[in-house]
Amino acid sequence: MQFRIGEANMRRKERERAARRQTYLASKQNYWIPKGFTLEDYLKIVKQHSSVAEILEYLEENPRDWQIEGEEFEFAESKDGVCEKCAVRELEHDLSTELKVATKCFNGVAEVQFSRYAADHFAKGKQPIILTPNLHRDFVYQSWVEAAHLEHIKQHRDEPGIMAAFVHPEIGADGGLTLGYSIRAVDGSHRAALSYREGRPFAVRVLTPIETLKSIFSIDNKKNPFFALKYSPKVDAVLERMARGEVGPHVPLK
């Protein structure tokens, strides 16, 4: 019996060493690494998340007070009278290269770029849900929304968006585990802003926390170790361009 227990402990320690080595090697290859966790442990915790319904219920019952925080929503203004969103869509590109920026993710400390292609894959076939007024506001207020573009999308106002549900584990100052819940817009921020301004409801397809994690192309200009798609050999050069500001957050990759 003692031999079996000892053998099990040895196997556990070997797995832990392998997980730490995997995380170390990923960090050397320009991958984002969660602070205080191996990749294996981080993913395991996220997989144990509450249901999407429970996450949304928590966020509904604990709404963010935007006015107190001094972050009342302001629309982005078009430059030189040109609608940036429309200008981007006039470029010929396929959906696999389209990214969507989201700021202050992972408890407010990271900027991520969602892959619209990956998010659309996970959202396909999901039943849309109507956002509550609080969640509708959060969906819009945490997005980049160009005022001029609202006039160009009225015929699409009823098309559902895609919303990402985040669960982000962290180790607190006391050594205890905490989970941060949040949502971000992956698609439909302008349609949601238009309906919010008109006092109309808006529907979204919601990605689970694991689907959200797998839909992220980059985190703070680093590769995402959980990304669902295979990176091209040129991705590090692209991320360097992003870090230098040469690829804008609302412009597709070329």
* Chain segment 68-85, per-residue pLDDT in tens: 655 566 655 545 555 555
**Cβ distance 50 to 180 under 8 Å?**
no
pLDDT at 98: 83
DSSP code string of 227-251: -SSPPPTTHHHHHHHHHTTSS-TTS
Asked whether the predicted pLDDT for residue 189 surpasses 90, the reply is no
Non-local (6+) Cβ contacts of 79 within 8 A are: none
**Cβ distance 208 to 52 under 8 Å?**
yes
**Cβ distance 42 to 36 under 8 Å?**
no
Tell which wins on pLDDT, 243 or 200.
200
pLDDT band at residue 143 using 50, 70 and 90 as cut-offs: confident
**Cβ distance 198 to 124 under 8 Å?**
no
Residues in the chain: 254
Domain borders along the chain are 1-30, 32-243
- CA dist., res. 221 & res. 246, Å (int): 12
Global pTM reads 0.82
Non-local (6+) Cβ contacts of 26 within 8 A are: 33, 39, 225
Q: Where are the beta strands (DSSP E) in 157-208?
A: 161-171, 177-187, 203-207
With tokens 């584990």, the residue in question is 169
- CA dist., res. 183 & res. 205, Å (int): 12
Alpha-carbon torsion 68, 64, 43, 249, what sign? negative
3-state secondary structure of 70: coil
Mean pLDDT, the chain, as a whole number? 81
- Parallel, antiparallel or unpaired: strands 203-207 and 161-171: parallel
